[in-house]
Amino acid sequence: MNEYQKKLKKKMDEYAHLIYRIAKDFPRHELYGIVSQIRRAALSIILNYIEGWARKKPLVRLNFLEISYGSLKESKYLLSFSLVEEYLNKNDYDHGIKLADEIGAMLWKDIEGLKKFIDSNKN
């Protein structure tokens, strides 16, 4: 992993920990609902990213990076849903969305770069 990817991984780690901290204060009746789902989605972002970079085949790596991106989008929706349901405060929401947007931009750059690499090596 290069420095850019390490920085992205660090942001993903921060995001996962933020989501876990926020979800601790969600209503108990949501433990097996949104709490479980948002935690899984947040962890899936970094876990699929790490697994993707552990793979040698570019198409396999791309698949994991795209799964990571999908999990990021899922977790962003769950943050929005949680704000409407008043499970979290606006400051935590704003912090989470800002971090998610940064991760999304960086992850998308990785995905697009890998797609270009794959396309240029087709023969």
pLDDT digits (tens, 9 = 90+) for 96-108: 999 999 999 999 9
Please say whether the beta carbons of 54 and 88 come within 8 A.
no
Q: How far apart are CA 17 and CA 30, in angstroms?
A: 19
User: Can you read off the two tokens belonging to residue 67?
Assistant: 């799964």
Q: How far apart are CA 86 and CA 100, in angstroms?
A: 19
What mean pLDDT do residues 57-73 have?
Answer: 97
Does the pTM surpass 0.85? The reply is yes
Determine the topology of domain 3-115 in CATH.
de novo design (two linked rop proteins) (1.20.1440)
* Host H or E run for residue 69: helix 58-84
pLDDT of 13 strictly over 70: yes
Q: How many CB atoms lie under 10 A from the CB of residue 39?
A: 19
| pLDDT confidence band for 90 (50 / 70 / 90) | very high
